[in-house]
Structure 1
Amino acid sequence: MLTRRHIRVKVLQSVYAFNQTAYQDIEKQEKFLLYSLDQMEDLYLIMLQILVEMRDQAQEYLVKSQNKHLPTAKEKNPSKNFVNNKLLQLIAEQSSLSEAIKKKKLNYWKEDDEYARILLKTLRQQEWYDTYLAKSEPSFAEDKDFIIKVYKEIVAPNEKLYDYLEDKRLTWLDDFPIVNTALVKVLSKVSGKNVKTVLLPELYKNDEDRDFAVTLFRKTILNEEKLSKEIDGKTPNWDTERIAELDMIILKMGITEFLNFPSIPVRATINEYLEIAKEYSTPKSSLFINGILDKIVKEFTEARKLNKIGRGLT
Structure 2
Amino acid sequence: MLNRRHIRVKVMQSLYANLGGESEDFSKDQKFLMQSIYSMYDLYILLISIFIEVRNKGIDQIGKQKQKHLATKEDKNPNTKFVNNEILKFMGDNELILEKIKQQETIDWDLDSEYIDIIFKAIVSSNAYKSYMKTRMSNFQQDKEFITTVFREVIAPNDKLYDYIEDKNLTWLDDLPTINTTILKLLQKLRPNPTKTYLLPELYRDEDDLKFATDLFTKTLLNQNELNEEIKHKTINWDSERLASIDLVLIQMAICELKHFPSIPVKVTINEYLEIAKEYSTPKSSNFINGILDKLVKEYEADGKLNKVGRGLL
Quote how far apart the aligned CAs of 1:77 are: 2.5
Does residue 84 of structure 2 align to residue 84 of structure 1? Answer: yes
Matched to 1:225, the amino acid is N
Distance verdict in 2 for CA 1:17–1:25, change over 3 Å = farther
**1: CA distance, partners of 2:110 / 2:262:** 48
Contact 2:128 2:150 in 1 (8 A): no
Deviations 1:147-197 (A, max 9, x none): 111111111111111111111112211111111111111122223443324
Name 1:259's counterpart in structure 2: 259
Deviations 1:43-96 (A, max 9, x none): 101100110100110111111122212233432322111100001111122211
Contact 2:270 2:290 in 1 (8 A): yes
Matched to 2:271, the amino acid is N
Name 1:269's counterpart in structure 2: 269
Name 2:232's counterpart in structure 1: 232
Matched to 2:83, the amino acid is V
**1: CA distance, partners of 2:138 / 2:293:** 55
**2: CA distance, partners of 1:171 / 1:269:** 24
**2: CA distance, partners of 1:66 / 1:32:** 51
Deviations 1:90-149 (A, max 9, x none): 112221111112223344223312211101111121222111011241110110111111
**2: CA distance, partners of 1:193 / 1:237:** 64
**Can you give the 5+ residue segments of structure 2 that lack an aligned partner in the other structure?**
none
Contact 1:90 1:192 in 2 (8 A): no
Number of aligned residue pairs: 314
Name 2:45's counterpart in structure 1: 45
Name 2:218's counterpart in structure 1: 218
**2: CA distance, partners of 1:299 / 1:204:** 35
**1: CA distance, partners of 2:142 / 2:264:** 41
Q: Which moved more, 1:98-107 or 1:210-219?
A: 98-107
Deviations 1:247-289 (A, max 9, x none): 1110010000011111111111111111111111111001111
State the SS of the aligned residue for 2:19. helix
**1: CA distance, partners of 2:255 / 2:36:** 24
State the SS of the aligned residue for 2:220. helix
Matched to 1:141, the amino acid is Q
Q: How does 1:64-103 map to 2 (within 5 A)?
A: 64-103=64-103
**2: CA distance, partners of 1:131 / 1:108:** 32
Name 1:5's counterpart in structure 2: 5
**2: CA distance, partners of 1:135 / 1:289:** 57
